[in-house]
Amino acid sequence: MAALGNTGLEISRVGFGAWALGGSNYDWGWGAQDDEQSIAAIHHALDLGVNWIDTAAQYGFGHSEQVVGRAVQTYSGERPFLFTKGGQPEGPNRTTLQSLRRDSLRREVEGSLSRLGVDAIDLYQIHWPIPDDEIEEGWTTLAELKDEGLVRHIGVSNFDVAQLRRAQAIAPVETLQPPYSLVDREVEQEILPFAEREGIGVIVYSPMGSGMLTGTMTRERIASLPDDDWRKRSPGFQEPELTPRLELVARLERAAERLEASPGAVAVAWTLRNPAVDGAIVGFRRPDQVDPILPAADLELSAEDAAELEG
């Protein structure tokens, strides 16, 4: 367990990411997804000690939140912390719009509360700092929502340091959610050190590079991804980026064998080595995907291990 910044929340080092649970019928889908499998995966993760779920209204335009709400309401144990995000409402033909306007965010929050089936959201985050000139209005709105008790804590995702400073001039930024993995290390330069200095809690997303670092991704599997999986269009899954990434996967597999862990767990554990990082968001689509990754929370990588992985 780790303290999430100064929120007072104690979170498991690995959290449940619910992006893929949104299904395929929108512009950032992961392909078809079985809702019963999604719910079973959530229940299994909670049984094994995961105590927070990160979702967003944009994931299937409410579908992921509906599934998470169903899973939580049918779970017999303690309710996990529920984190969600706003700022990307649904546009024409199930495409994603960008709005941080007060009225739009308030509509999104009302929808999220209803779908999740709760009176207050544990952590509400601005999904993207877009449009940039609406950041102040958006962050002021989140501060109001917190004052009103509709959300307990407020954070941001994908913000740079200048944008974090602009938000902090209005109200404290409690958490940050950036992308971070062995194939996406940009936040190491300025963003993670800033968050650590300021006491901002950090939960990183895509610690396995959107599936690239699980050890199960091959050229053949990438070629056979369904057309409604956004990764099919991603530069990270195509040349010239693909070959060096598959070479990294080979290094991960060697380290995993030595550490008696899965490649995915090693990749996640690498992100948790950074002192600024409180937790890592891992996307699970089926119960059997959970067990190989959760040991990342307790996996100690040596400096030599890390150097080998970083090549």
- For residue 18, the one-letter residue type is A
Q: Of the listed 59, 124, 180, 205, which one is catalytic?
A: 59
Assess whether 59 carries a catalytic annotation: yes
Residues taking part in catalysis: 59
